[in-house]
Structure 1
Amino acid sequence: MSAVEETYDVIVVGSGGGLVGAYAAASRGLRTLVVEKTDRFGGTVAYSGAGLWFPGSAPLRRAGVSDDVEPARTYLRDIVADPSREARQDAYLATAARLIDELEQNPSFGPFEYGPVPDYFKGRPGATAEGRTIFPVEIPAAELGELAALVRDNIPVERHGQERNPVLVGGRALIARALRAFLDTGNGSYLLETAVQGLIVEDGRVVGVEAVRGGEQLRIRAARGVILAAGGFERNRELREKHGVAPYNGDWSNGAPGNTGDVLQAAVAIGAATDLLDEAWFIPGLVQPNGQPIFHTGVRGGFWVNGAGERFMNEAMPYDQAGHEMLRLHKSTGVPHIPAHWVFDQRQLDRDSFGGDPALPPRPEWFESGALRKADTLEELAELIAVPIENLRRTVAEYNEAAAEGVDEKFHRGEGAWDGIHVHVVGFPAGQPMNYVTGPNTDAPNPLLPPLDTPPYYVATIVLSDIGTKGGLQTDENARVLREDGAAIPGLYASGNTMAAMSGRVYPGAGTPIGSSLVFSYRAVLDITGAE
């Protein structure tokens, strides 16, 4: 059966951050097609809080946050320490504020708002405790009409059965706003449940994609360019194993289910170069009653122990650093650190609950599933998690001494700006900017270090998860995909987690991954249109 052929000016593969690039192209008069593999828009962006790490942008100025791009440039140079990424860093910094200025001119996007999320590497040159992160404004589903049903749900709804909020927040709000703006241009079209399987190349130039939809083969041509913005390969176990991205079980990932690296492999097949394929945006994951982990940003009480019953890190450090530290120790010490055990007591449960109203006990399924276990004594707890009781006793004693002094000499919990963020036991709600610690026990020497002295004791499981792989196609500062010799492949662009991260192996601040997706999708359009 012959393939159906269509032609557009621009094709965007993926509907997360690339949707903003699609809007930018369509608003400039280019006939633009968004091709989405799944049945709804948004990808991993829809799961997120949609923070955008955008130094020098208008929402920061409106909030009275003193910031410009030069300290941010200093910060990036210091923590990334990779001259080969400096041109991409400069492009990012030069474009982020400009992009927001353009989006805010369209009422569909509305104003963006500043949220106080500190940069993740405290004390480094150019770092700021105020942060540089902005967020989209929420939007009621009723205002969107039928479009609301086309936006992917967040993880609590999609994977854990929570009720859908009638107001779209965070990533869902960003995707809904971008989708509406895109379609309102009159130049935007989309295909859902359409999987791209290959790229069409003529005379060395990418001129379209080969795809399948409902068993029908499609050849879709792009007169001006193809932008690959289809996320990473975190849900592809075979690719994770091939490139050494731990853990190999993609089911532990918080990435969207369609992120299996199809377009990455299609680009490699025509000679595209890759980088950082062993890396991910790592996070600790709190295992839920259904066995799947959910993004866990840190703890306010209790501590984590490894397979030897010993505490091993600051449990409130920035999540990507926490994930990397878990992985490093798991590989290097000979002691299991994945999974880790989160140990806490009744004091902590009464203070913060376990995913609900502190006045109510945990939901029965937590205990029925074994995701949360209870012990009346430390001896019983040690037996539950199969660690030496003498090590666990010593860990509790050392922790309680630190709690009494309010100083965590071993791991420095509670000393950094990020540590002071209020963290809920199952992660902050997507789309809600995090606030500094408030609530009970603030009269303790260190509110992030309350003692563990009130039985019964509880233990939950922490595994290594991620919010996407960060390795992908090598690109230049204009998002053009490169060959191994550094030459650009004409007509082909990449952004977000389909491209290798401009921040290398580090995570500078909240909103770097999504910010990169938006910025480099936008820069691709500027290159396609010849704009400066």
Structure 2
Amino acid sequence: MSDNEENYDVVVVGSGGGGLIGGYIAASRGLRTLVIEKTDQVGGTTSYSGSGLWFPGSAPTRRAGIDDSDLESARQYMRKAVDDPAREELQDAYLSAGIALIDELEQNTWFQTFEHQPVPDYLEHLEGATPHGRSIFPPPIAVNEVGDKASIVRKSIYTERYGHTEDEMFVGGRALIARALSAFLATGNGVLKLNTALTGLVVDGDRIVGVEALSEGEPVRLRAGRGVLLAAGGFEHNAELRAKYGTLPSNAEWSDGVDSNVGDALVAGIAVGAETDLMDEAWYVPGTVQPDGKPVFQTGIRGGIWVNGAGERFVNELRPYDQAGHVIRDGEREAEGSHAPAYWVFDHKAFERDGFGGKGPDVPVSAEWFESGALKKADSLEELAELIGVPPAALVDSVKTFNGYVEGGVDEEFHRGESAWDQMFQFIVGYPALPEQNFVVPLPAEGPNPLLTATDTPPYYAATILLSDIGTKGGLKTDASARVLRADGQPIRGLYATGNTMAAMSGPVYLGAGTPIGSSLAFAYRAALHLADDTE
């Protein structure tokens, strides 16, 4: 072996949730496994997330009293939502993998017990959907429990971009990453290389046998006796690829994915003959523009309405974020009536009740919001319309119409507040605490609807809403074992993909909280089992 070559059983590209879980599963079965990460921190976009895992029938959902034991209702829901027979085998693989993976992880002290939280399925009108959802979450873990490894766990998006202070606990996606990294290294078979960027795949005949990379700036060949798992995220921050595939928005800086996700693994897979799918799709979300000019994932609102460039309301503002994002995306594709940018218009009553900028009513809104123009303020709706560049009469009419719905208690146009998902937002800043139970509480039978409040108290405010995403959804086509496929449907031996490097098993839809990370973990698990079996 030369100085610039190393040998492993498995090489995993990417250190997000799927990469580390795939690495752990392979290493726990005695395979010498290398995880490479192009940056100096592990976690990828998973670290930015709440780390929900949409895993019907898994042990945490059963412990919560949700009977998905036969999976038929969940399968029926998936079939209706995705509506694509070509993805049914992937769906079934996903469902079985989620149950088995959580059973296995909960046997490891680093993972402990996952917890169900009541987040409704996003397409609740479909048969098989549930108001309590099937989303589970990793428990928090103290930073000091993780030891020296804690310093390399990627910070949250709010800390990375805006300098927010992290506390002494890893929560959400950071908790999952901290636990997975610790478990992976504790196997004794796991090796991590930071600052190691994939540059290509090593091909021997018809098989992938390793990767070429730049490690600390030096070229290295990393051989993989069993195979390579690509788990390096999507191409969300690659403007050239977004333009090539028509993935809106064209501005890559508007993505909430980690900046290093530029499609390295995708390009490497295409170069060896991999087929792709869903390349114009993303995990779309609305994003509220911050003082630095970039949007950050916005879900739910605490008051007011969203209007488009014509000054017209165009969506239920509480709609699940992927659905609201697609409405904005579709509006951007139209020649008229563009919803990008859109504007969140609210009044001083909402401003005082809820605050702004994600810090609650007791924290003053910093001057930079107004100084940057990210948040505009005016004494009248007409003046506000001039500031944001929409027709004043249209904005006044939109607010008047909505206020009429408030008075009647029903949003006749977009039905805000009627779904179980919407009704979660009763329990936000300014409202009562979320009750300790596994079902969403319906709206009060009497009295005002807390999700419909009039916009009628000056001064008025407007923030800008842009189309954003939490990652691209298009990627390499795979089979149920996460093996990457050629155009003829045959697997490329030794090559696997998961996460946003893989074309989503859910097609263009978002099933429930934790579909992206759940998919990443489930197919990383399937890939690692296939690698460990070595039946090729």
Give the equivalent residue in structure 1 for 2:214: 212
Q: Distance in 2 between matches of 1:490 and 1:413?
A: 49
Q: What amino acid is the match of 1:385?
A: I
Q: Distance in 1 between matches of 2:534 and 2:422?
A: 42
Q: How does 1:295-334 map to 2 (within 5 A)?
A: 295-332=297-334, 334=336
TM-score in terms of structure 2 length: 0.95
Q: 1:137 to 1:499 in 2, by over 3 A?
A: same
Q: Residue 66 of structure 1: CA displacement? A: 2.6
Q: Residue 3 of structure 1: CA displacement? A: 6.8
Q: Is the Cα contact below 8 Å between 2:131 and 2:439 reproduced in 1?
A: no
Q: Residue 361 of structure 1: CA displacement? A: 3.2
Q: Is the Cα contact below 8 Å between 2:382 and 2:393 reproduced in 1?
A: no
CA deviation vs aligned residue, 1:393-430 (integer Å, no higher than 9, x gap): 111110000011110010010011111123869xxxxx
TM-score in terms of structure 1 length: 0.95
Give the equivalent residue in structure 1 for 2:11: 11
Quick one: which of 220, 223, 239 aligns to 1:221? 223
Q: Residue 317 of structure 1: CA displacement? A: 0.4
Q: Is the Cα contact below 8 Å between 1:381 and 1:457 reproduced in 2?
A: yes
Q: Is the Cα contact below 8 Å between 2:420 and 2:442 reproduced in 1?
A: no
Q: Is the Cα contact below 8 Å between 1:406 and 1:444 reproduced in 2?
A: no
Q: Aligned with 2:424: secondary structure? A: coil
Q: Distance in 2 between matches of 1:103 and 1:7?
A: 27
Q: Aligned with 2:162: secondary structure? A: coil
Q: How does 1:392-407 map to 2 (within 5 A)?
A: 392-407=395-410
Q: Distance in 1 between matches of 2:166 and 2:199?
A: 33
The answer to whether 1:372 aligns with 2:375 is yes
Q: What amino acid is the match of 2:22?
A: G
Q: 1:520 to 1:360 in 2, by over 3 A?
A: closer
Q: Distance in 1 between matches of 2:286 and 2:244?
A: 22
Q: Is the Cα contact below 8 Å between 1:473 and 1:498 reproduced in 2?
A: yes
Matched positions, count:
523
Q: Distance in 2 between matches of 1:435 and 1:118?
A: 9
Q: Distance in 2 between matches of 1:39 and 1:165?
A: 21
Q: Distance in 2 between matches of 1:315 and 1:303?
A: 7
CA deviation vs aligned residue, 1:422-471 (integer Å, no higher than 9, x gap): 3869xxxxxxx9996899x9975321110111111000010000000000
Q: Residue 352 of structure 1: CA displacement? A: 1.1
Q: What amino acid is the match of 1:388?
A: P
Quick one: which of 164, 171, 175 aligns to 2:166? 164
Q: Is the Cα contact below 8 Å between 2:278 and 2:473 reproduced in 1?
A: yes
Q: Is the Cα contact below 8 Å between 1:75 and 1:127 reproduced in 2?
A: yes
Give the equivalent residue in structure 2 for 1:33: 34
Q: Residue 221 of structure 1: CA displacement? A: 0.2
Q: Report the more deviating stretch, 364-373 or 181-190.
A: 364-373
Quick one: which of 269, 272, 283 aligns to 1:270? 272
Give the equivalent residue in structure 2 for 1:430: none
Q: How does 1:409-424 map to 2 (within 5 A)?
A: 409-422=412-425
Give the equivalent residue in structure 2 for 1:429: none
Q: Aligned with 2:57: secondary structure? A: coil
Q: What amino acid is the match of 2:67?
A: S
Q: What amino acid is the match of 1:37?
A: K
Q: What amino acid is the match of 1:231?
A: G
Give the equivalent residue in structure 2 for 1:279: 281
Q: Distance in 1 between matches of 2:471 and 2:284?
A: 8
Q: Distance in 2 between matches of 1:435 and 1:373?
A: 38
Q: How does 1:73-92 map to 2 (within 5 A)?
A: 73-92=75-94
Q: Residue 214 of structure 1: CA displacement? A: 2.3
Q: Is the Cα contact below 8 Å between 1:326 and 1:464 reproduced in 2?
A: yes
Q: 1:464 to 1:194 in 2, by over 3 A?
A: same
Q: 1:444 to 1:400 in 2, by over 3 A?
A: farther
The answer to whether 1:522 aligns with 2:522 is no
Q: Is the Cα contact below 8 Å between 1:299 and 1:424 reproduced in 2?
A: no
Q: What amino acid is the match of 1:306?
A: N
Q: Residue 285 of structure 1: CA displacement? A: 0.3
Q: Distance in 2 between matches of 1:171 and 1:531?
A: 31
The answer to whether 1:486 aligns with 2:489 is yes
Q: Residue 360 of structure 1: CA displacement? A: 4.1
Q: Is the Cα contact below 8 Å between 1:18 and 1:229 reproduced in 2?
A: yes
Give the equivalent residue in structure 2 for 1:98: 100
CA deviation vs aligned residue, 1:122-146 (integer Å, no higher than 9, x gap): 1101000000000000011111111
Q: 1:435 to 1:467 in 2, by over 3 A?
A: farther
Q: How does 1:355-394 map to 2 (within 5 A)?
A: 355-394=358-397
CA deviation vs aligned residue, 1:88-136 (integer Å, no higher than 9, x gap): 0000011101100000000001110001110000110100000000000
CA deviation vs aligned residue, 1:35-64 (integer Å, no higher than 9, x gap): 101110000001000000000000011112
Structure 1 unaligned regions, length at least 5: 426-432
CA deviation vs aligned residue, 1:142-201 (integer Å, no higher than 9, x gap): 111111111000111001111112110000000000000000000000110110010000
Q: 1:438 to 1:360 in 2, by over 3 A?
A: farther
Structure 2 unaligned regions, length at least 5: 430-436
Sequence identity (%): 60
Q: Distance in 2 between matches of 1:480 and 1:100?
A: 22
Q: Report the more deviating stretch, 61-70 or 253-262.
A: 61-70
Quick one: which of 126, 132, 135 aligns to 1:133? 135
Quick one: which of 479, 484, 499 aligns to 1:476? 479
CA deviation vs aligned residue, 1:264-322 (integer Å, no higher than 9, x gap): 11111110100011100000001111111111012131000111111011010000000
RMSD of the TM alignment (CA)?
1.9
Give the equivalent residue in structure 2 for 1:118: 120
Q: Is the Cα contact below 8 Å between 1:236 and 1:259 reproduced in 2?
A: yes
Q: Distance in 1 between matches of 2:445 and 2:36?
A: 50
